[in-house]
Amino acid sequence: MIKQAIIPLAGLGTRLLPLTSIVQKELLPLNGKPNLEYIMDECIEAGIKEFIFIVPKNRPTIKKYFFNDSFYKKIIKKKKQNKNLKKIFKKIKMYQKMIKFVYQNKPNGTGDAVLKCKKYLKNEHFLMLLADDLIIKKNCSKEMINLHKKTKGSVIATKKVDKKTLSRWGILGVKNKKKYSFSINEVIEKPKLNEAPSNYAIIGRYILPKKILSVLKNQKRGKGGEIHITDAIKTLIKRGEKFYGNIFKGEYLDSGTLEGYVKSNLRISKL
């Protein structure tokens, strides 16, 4: 049963400066809707009931976006006839009921972000999404949850990438490949070309087992001095934990760089 999704939101968004000097990157709109809402809507459609947002305590933007009731109430009172306003507020309230916050005050990596969620994680497995990675047209979280139901294992979203870009991604080792899935027998974060076990890259969606917390607790810092979720996954695979790659059917959009953000806007506005 996958009912909880955790979303790390503590990154600085330096690749999107100067926009991110004022607006948090996950709130930048894509064709009129914040990036983060695309991710949340994908989750809700896949049956997720609760979101755990990992944010820095000193950056209240996301909290303010979802928890600004007094502001809405004031303008709804003033503009009583405006049906659209009520509709917007209703949607925000729907999201609001599903959100919990935990705090990560230093950008110490995705593994550290997962550790911060410990007190809220209820089930054996949970979903984690990286908000920069949009997948449109087909619901990737739904596909992953179905694969998890079938295999009972952990699942990582993946797609083939250009060999020239291998050192930008976490790369998976492939065993028993089927049309849309395979067993993962290895994972390396940002490998050199000659170290990469394949050209299947991790794209920001993971169904992880709760037991990853005990691995993360004792894990040393990896590349760039961060605690990477990829390194904890590697340890679990070595211990015999089952992980599967879900070769997703949708279209991938990287909205974490300025060039990618502009492209994503153009792509989404044409749908």
Closest to ligand G1P by CB, 66 or 169: 169
Closest to ligand G1P by CB, 40 or 157: 157
Determine contact, residues 215/236, Cβ cutoff 8 Å. yes
Which residues bind to ligand G1P, rule: CB under 6 A? Answer: 130, 133, 169-170, 189, 201-204, 228, 230
Closest-approach residue to ligand G1P (CB): 170
Closest to ligand G1P by CB, 37 or 189: 189
Position 59: which residue type?
A: R
Whole-angstrom CA distances from 107 to 90, 110, 181 are 33, 8, 32
CB of 260 to ligand G1P, least distance (A): 10
